[in-house]
Amino acid sequence: MRIAVSLLALCLLSAAQAQELPWAPGTSSLDAWEQVDHGVEGNWSLSCGVIMQNSQDQGVAGENAWTALIGGHPEWRDVTLRATVKIHGEGEGDTVGLIFGWRDAENHWRLRLERSWTGGEAWRVLEHVVSGEVEEIARLEGMSERDQVELQIDITGNILILTEDQMALWSSLRAHDRPSWAGRVGLLSGGAGFTSFRQIGAATPRFDHLLAMGPWISDIGPTHATVSWGFHQPMLSSAIVSPESPEPEPVEFPSALIEPDPFLYSMEWLDEFRRMAREGEQPRARWEMTFTGLEPGTRYTGVVQLFNLDPATYSPIEDAFSFMTTPAEPSVPFRLGVWGDNRTDVEAHRRVTEALADEEPDIAVNVGDVVTDGRNPHEWREEFFEPARRLLASTPTYIAIGNHERDDDLFYELFPFPGRRNWFAVTYGCLRLIVLDTNQPVRPNSPQHDWLLDEIESEAFQSATWRIAAFHHPPFSEGWDNPDCDGELAVRQHLWPVLRDAGVDILLMGHTHDYERGTLDGVVHVITGGGGAPLDHFVQNWDFFEVYESTYQFCLLDISPERIEFQAKTPDGRVIDEFTLTQESPEALTRSGSDLSAEEGNP
């Protein structure tokens, strides 16, 4: 057997070890390494920057014979170790792998690819060596059919993740009675092998949080909720929820629909994991889970779980979430939060969403342009999910897609909204909320226009006390830093008349990076595009707009069957606009000006 291994080790040290980075063993000698032989004499060498081991043992020394090169620092605690392994031949008893948590030859951890001594079988094996005794933690049958296999070991705090070809083999939360995974790292070779290792080094890892995105709640109803989350790499995960109480207890939902993997909480998780491996089902980076059978108008708390080898169960990680299911009765009051155009300035977006989260809305709407370019996955993480983490984990949020999302497939993968996902309608209490996509045609006989006409005739729309439409491009706007842009002409010609004639009460919009509010033909127009994008300034005048301010802000709507109490606020709590709608006075005429900006109205 001939095995070629390309290794990159990335390590995050505590402040005390920060001076050890970057670390590289060198490409001209083996002086940076300590050779350790166990039952066989290793024959390590270096040529042209490639470390090779050629003991040619042929299995004579026994099954626990191995040789290793050990390097790094004994106090390395958080480590990402990655290796690409190329296998030639099928020698019996051959093994190659990575060592971590090294204290000495009698105490360390190792991940091995192993071939049977009797031939015909192969495994991936995780082992813990304690006082010289080898404890097998986990074993999976089979080898990749590819001639190259990428192995990766991630250690972050008390979490261990083992990955093959960017798919998680195992993950574990360290039990309190187990030794730390801290220690040196190394290269392992055994059996009849010829192995080579290259590109060896150490640096800080790319991330310090297990979840790359979320969790976030992307759909809600009286008896269901959809929760999503994403890891930096594919792995096996789950989630569980329970009704909020002073002493919450996990509740099993035998009827829960967990898409797309139909797990039940009563399963033996290790057996299920092995079944997944046999049948070729793979862990993944992004997860979507729909809970059904919930109680209306009930707050639930939940936690994302990670498949854990010790013991063989799913165990909670640090990322919790909560949500309130839709009330069964339309008489129940609730709070709606609104913000939008949060791309670009991450810190401004963080201030806006932190302030909005403090207001504890029951649901939220973003009016679009949540990232600079929706085709770039890292922007979703950096510009949207990370700064809005606390709000998204506690508030079901719908998004009216903006032009900067680029109508990319990634948007539809991340947000399992109802229907087409870019235009849809939901009922929450006494409200019928319509979310539209003004990037798509809205002219008569277009699919969206036809859908909207059907929605307006629906029982859900007709029976709602309040109707609000959210979309990105406003039909009228006083800002935009461009005198040629006073609103979206197609929306003004084709969408606005339909919504006006249907009796919609409020339009929530973005695109212009400011705050604007006015009433036209009995419909309140609100532009709330101050979530973090560069602010626009007043350019032209529409007579019906009453309030204008170029500032970062968000909106709150306290909704009951009798009234809507509206406020627009800056992140520091300053009220820049407020009004009340009642069924007797459907226009925004009742206002309190005590806390309003002295600059309200048209400049």
In a domain, 91, yes or no: yes
CATH number at residue 389: 3.60.21.10
| Average predicted confidence (pLDDT) for the chain | 79
Q: What is the pLDDT of residue 433?
A: 98
% of the chain with per-residue pLDDT over 90 = 46
Domain with 550, as residue range(s), is: 334-582
Same domain as 232, residue 102: no
Secondary structure (H, E, C), 448-502: HHHHHHHHHCCHHHHHCCEEEEECCCCCCCCCCCCCCCCCCHHHHHHHHHHHHHC
What are the structure tokens assigned to 394, written together? 């506690």
The whole-number pLDDT of residue 52 equals: 82
- Do 374 and 514 fall into the same domain? yes
Same domain (yes/no): 243, 120: no
- Closest C-alpha among 534, 532, 212 to residue 354: 532
Any domain includes 600:
no
pTM, two decimals, is 0.73
pLDDT of residue 87 exceeding 50, the answer is yes
User: Is 155 among the domain residues?
Assistant: yes
Flag whether 376 is in a domain: yes
Q: Is the same domain home to 155 and 74? A: yes
Identify whether residues 506 and 425 lie together within a single domain.
Answer: yes
Which of 357, 365, 475 lies closest to 426 in space, CA to CA? 365
- Whether residues 316 and 339 share a domain: the answer is no
Among the residue ranges 5-9, 345-349, 408-412, the one predicted with the least confidence is 5-9
Instruction: Examine the domain organization and report whether 367 and 435 are in the same domain.
Output: yes
Q: What is the dihedral of CA 361, 367, 372, 374, to 10 degrees?
A: 100
Q: Which residues of 502-514 are buried (b: 16+ CB within 10 A; e: fewer)?
A: bebbbbbbbbbbb
Q: Given a cut of 50, is residue 54 above it in pLDDT?
A: yes
Nearest to 80 by CA among 203, 174, 200, 175: 203
- The reply to whether 310 and 368 lie within a common domain is no
Most distant pair of Cα atoms in the chain: their distance? 93
* Same structural domain, 355 and 309: no
Among 294, 324, 354, residue at a domain's last position: 324
pLDDT digits (tens, 9 = 90+) for 219-255: 999 999 999 998 876 666 778 888 876 554 443 333 2
pLDDT attached to residue 41: 87
| CATH number of the domain enclosing 49 | 2.60.120.560
Token couple for 174: 């360290």
What pLDDT band is residue 385 in, cutting at 50, 70 and 90?
very high
pLDDT of residue 206 exceeding 70 = no
**H-helix or E-strand containing 148?**
strand 148-156
What whole-number distance in Å separates Cα of residue 487 and Cα of residue 493?
Answer: 11
The model's confidence at residue 364, banded by pLDDT at 50, 70 and 90, is very high
Residues 315, 340: one domain? no
Q: Structural domain tally of the chain?
A: 3
Q: What is the pLDDT of residue 194?
A: 72
Token duo for residue 561: 């069957």
Cα separations (Å) of 100 from 6, 84, 127, 235, 461?
17, 16, 11, 20, 60
- pLDDT, tens digit, for every residue of 418-446? 887 899 999 999 999 999 999 999 999 99
> Do 482 and 390 have their domain in common?
yes
In the prediction, which pLDDT does 314 show? 55
Which tens digit of pLDDT belongs to each residue from 129-151?
999 999 888 787 765 555 567 77
Residue 352 has pLDDT above 90, yes or no: yes
86 with 45, same domain: the answer is yes
Specify if 207 maps to a domain.
no
Q: What is the pLDDT of residue 421?
A: 80
In the Cβ-directed half-sphere of 466, how many Cα atoms lie within 13 Å? 32
Domain end call among 144, 178, 198: 198
In a domain, 329, yes or no: no
Q: How many residues in total does the chain contain?
A: 603
The answer to whether residue 603 sits within a structural domain is no
Is 216 contained in some domain? no
8 A C-beta contact, residue 507 and residue 520: no
Residue ending a domain, choose from 156, 176, 198:
198
